[in-house]
Structure 1
Amino acid sequence: MAGMNVPFRWDLVTPDQLGSLLDDVAIPEVRYLADLAECAGKVLARGGNGDLVFVGRSLDSMFDLLGGALEGTDHTLARLPLSFLHPDDHTRPEVLRAREILTELGITPASLARRTRPVTFVDVVSSGRTFLSLFTLLDDWIAEEREPWPVIRLKIRFVGVTRRTETSPNTRRWKEEHAEWTRRLPAASVVNVSLHTFAWSYFGDHQQKVTRHFPSHRWVDGPPETRRDDRTRKALAEAVHLVELGRTKEVRRRIARAIDGEPALAEPWLRALRSQLG
C-alpha cells in the first residue's frame, strides 16, 4: 500500500490496530451487498489477472469486500486514493508527488515494463476524466524515462464501473469520448462493468468515507489528519463489516457466481480463482 504521502487508512484485513474505536458503534445494514458482490466478481473477471488498484475513494467498499474474499489467494489489492483534475491542470510539483505515491505502490515505468502481471486500475466512471488524468500521468512519465511503450501498453488496464442504464443505440459511452488514449491500449484493456444505479450513486456521491478527500492541490502539502468523529467511525464500522462479509462462504459464492459466463473463464487463472472462491 501507499505510505505516508496519502491519507491514513486502517488495515481492515488485520484490524488489531482498531482497539476500542468501534466498541459503541452499531453494525450497519448493507443493502447493496448483492449488487456489490456481483460487480466485484465481474471486475475480477475483466481485470485480466491484474493486480487491482482502486483509484480514489468511490470503490473503497469493493476494496474492503474483496479484501476479505481474496484472503488466502495470490491476488493483491491496493488503493490509489488521489482525486485528479484534468491532466492539464496539474502543476509540476503535484505530478512529482503523484509519481512518488505510485512508486510507493510499486508502479513505475521501469517496473511496468518488467512485471509479469498487469496493473488494473478500477474506479467508478461517469465522464472518464480521472482515467484520462491517470493515463496522461503515466504516459508522460514513461516517455521521460524512455521505457518501452509497446511492452508497457500490455501491462496496464482500466476497469470502469458504470451506472447501469437502459441500452440505446444513441448512447454515447465514456470510452468514445476518450478514444484518443483508449485506442492506444488493446481493446480488452479498457472495459466496463455496470452497477445498479442506487449502489453506483451511493458509492460515488453519498457514502461517508473512512478517509478524507485528497485533491491535487493538497498532494504536495501532505494528507489531512484522520478524523475519528461519529460519522467516520460509522464509515469505519461499515468497512470492517464488509471485510467480514467478504470472508463468508455466502458472499464468496456470490462473487464466484458473477464470474460464471464471463469469457475470461476459459483462462486457467480465472478458473483457479473461481474454484478458490467457491
Structure 2
Amino acid sequence: MDPIRPFRWDLIRPDQLGSMLDDVEVWELFFLDDLIRCAARVLGQCGDGDLYFVGRSVDSLFDVLSGALADTGWSSRLHPLPLSLFGVDGQSVTAGELRQLRTNLAAEGLTPGELMRGRPTVFVDLVYQGSTFENLYGVLRRWIDDEHAQWDVIRRQLRFVGITSRTKTSPNTWRWHQHAEFATDLPASAIRNVSLDPRLWSYFGDYQHKTAASFRRTRWADPEVADPRRDERTRMALAEAVKIVAAARTPKVRRKLAELLTREPAISERWLRELQVSLRR
C-alpha cells in the first residue's frame, strides 16, 4: 500500500508557479500582525519539538512560520499534516481506512517507533471542541498498542497546541481540554492553548480559501489528490499564501517574531534563545 498525500506547492521556492498567479489580486494581509503573535506563542509552547500543522485551518500559521524560519535550523521541524478527522467523520474508521491512514501517517514520520525517538511531536490545530485532536490521539494510541510500543515513553513526547477563539477569561469559561478524555492520559504540560481574535479564528477556520480540498477519509486512498488544483478559488488561496510567506521572510517580520519570543516563559531555555538569535541574523 502506497501513501497518499495531497499536492502542496513549494512556497519558499515558488518558481514552479510560473504565470499562474499573474492576474490574481490579493487583499492586504489584514491578519498578519495577529498571525505573527500567534506564531510566537506556538513556538513558545512547543517544548523544542517538531511541529505538525493538522489539516487546513492552520495553513497560514504554517506559511508564516515556514517563511520566517526558512533560513534557520528549524525549517525542517515544520510539517503540514493534511488530514481531516473532525467530529464523527473521524470516528468508526473502517479497517481499510485505518490501514491507509497508518500508511499515510508513516510517510509523515509518525509511526509509534518514531514517536519514541528524538524531539517531542507537537500537533497544532484550530480547536473548537477538540474532536480532531481526540480522534487523532485515538488513532495513534491504538497503533501504539498494536505495535506494543512504549507508551510510557511516548506519552511524554506528545504535545497538542490548540488555537482557540479568544473569550473573556473567568472561572466558568468553557475550555476544550477540560472535557477531552484523552487529556487525562497525558502530562499536564502536553496540552497547550494559544488564543486568537475570534474574527480571525473564524476567518481561518470557516471562510479562508484553501489551496487543497479537505483530506477526509473518503480521499485518504484517492491518488487524484496528488494532482494540483488550478481553479479560481485555489489560485486566490495560493496567491494569499505566497504573500504570507514572502512577508514572513522579510527582516521586519523576523525581527518582530524574535521580539515576541522574548515574552515567552520558555525564553529562559537555551533552545528558544538560540532560535531567537537565528531569527535576528
CA distance in 2, matches of 1:196, 1:27: 22
SS at match of 2:6: coil
CA distance in 1, matches of 2:210, 2:62: 13
* Partner amino acid, structure 1, of 2:80: R
The aligned residue for residue 148 of structure 2 is 146
SS at match of 1:183: helix
8 Å contact from structure 1 (residues 214, 223) kept in 2: no
* Partner amino acid, structure 2, of 1:104: A
The aligned residue for residue 40 of structure 2 is 41
The aligned residue for residue 21 of structure 1 is 20
State the 1:4 CA deviation.
5.9
Q: C-alpha deviations, 1:22-74, integer Å up to 9, x for none?
A: 12222431000000000000001101111110000001001111111001222
CA distance in 1, matches of 2:185, 2:157: 13
CA distance in 2, matches of 1:246, 1:94: 37
CA distance in 2, matches of 1:231, 1:181: 36
* Partner amino acid, structure 2, of 1:111: E
Aligned ranges 1:174-189 → 2 under 5 Å: 174-178=176-180, 180-189=181-190
Query: Which residue, out of 84, 104, 109, partners 1:106?
Result: 109
Q: C-alpha deviations, 1:75-124, integer Å up to 9, x for none?
A: 221111111144532112111111111111111001111x2211110000
- Taking structure 1 as the reference length, what is the TM-score of the superposition? 0.94
SS at match of 2:185: coil
* Partner amino acid, structure 2, of 1:95: L
Q: C-alpha deviations, 1:132-188, integer Å up to 9, x for none?
A: 00000000000000010111112211100000111121112100111x311211111
SS at match of 2:124: strand
* Partner amino acid, structure 2, of 1:89: S
Q: Percent identity?
A: 50
Please give the root-mean-square deviation of Cα atoms over the aligned residues, in Å.
1.5
The aligned residue for residue 199 of structure 1 is 200
- Taking structure 2 as the reference length, what is the TM-score of the superposition? 0.93
CA distance in 1, matches of 2:122, 2:73: 15
Q: C-alpha deviations, 1:180-226, integer Å up to 9, x for none?
A: 31121111111000011111110000000011112112213345453
* Partner amino acid, structure 1, of 2:93: H
Which residues of structure 1 form unaligned runs of 5+?
A: none
Q: Which moved more, 1:266-275 or 1:3-12?
A: 3-12
Relative to structure 1, the CA distance from residue 251 to residue 192 in structure 2 (aligned partners, 3 Å threshold; closer, same or farther) is same
8 Å contact from structure 1 (residues 212, 226) kept in 2: no
CA distance in 2, matches of 1:18, 1:8: 13
* Partner amino acid, structure 2, of 1:208: H
Query: Which residue, out of 217, 240, 258, partners 2:260?
Result: 258
The aligned residue for residue 211 of structure 1 is 212
CA distance in 2, matches of 1:34, 1:137: 35
The aligned residue for residue 69 of structure 1 is 68
8 Å contact from structure 1 (residues 124, 160) kept in 2: yes
* Partner amino acid, structure 1, of 2:266: A
Runs of 4+ that moved beyond 6 A: none
* Partner amino acid, structure 2, of 1:65: V
The aligned residue for residue 157 of structure 1 is 159
Which residues of structure 2 form unaligned runs of 5+?
A: none
The answer to whether 1:132 aligns with 2:149 is no
8 Å contact from structure 2 (residues 210, 237) kept in 1: yes
8 Å contact from structure 2 (residues 3, 100) kept in 1: no
CA distance in 2, matches of 1:49, 1:255: 16
